[in-house]
Structure 1
Amino acid sequence: MVEVISGSAVPDKVVITALIDTVLGWGKPGAELPDTGVALDVINQFSAYGRVLADDLRAHSGSLPILGEADRRLGAALPAVTPVAAAGRAMNLARLIQALRRATSQVHAEQLRTAQHAITMPPAGRADESGQQPPIASGPTGTLLTAP
Structure 2
Amino acid sequence: MYGVVYGDVLSHLIIRMDALLRGRAEAYARTVEVSNRKSSTSKRAVVFTMSPGGGVGDTVKTSYATVDVIANDEGDTADLMNLVLALATSRGVGGMVDGQPLLSATINGGPNSDPAADGFFKQTAELELQHRGVNL
- TM-score, length of structure 2 as denominator length: 0.34
Structure number, greater radius of gyration: 1
Bigger helix fraction: 1
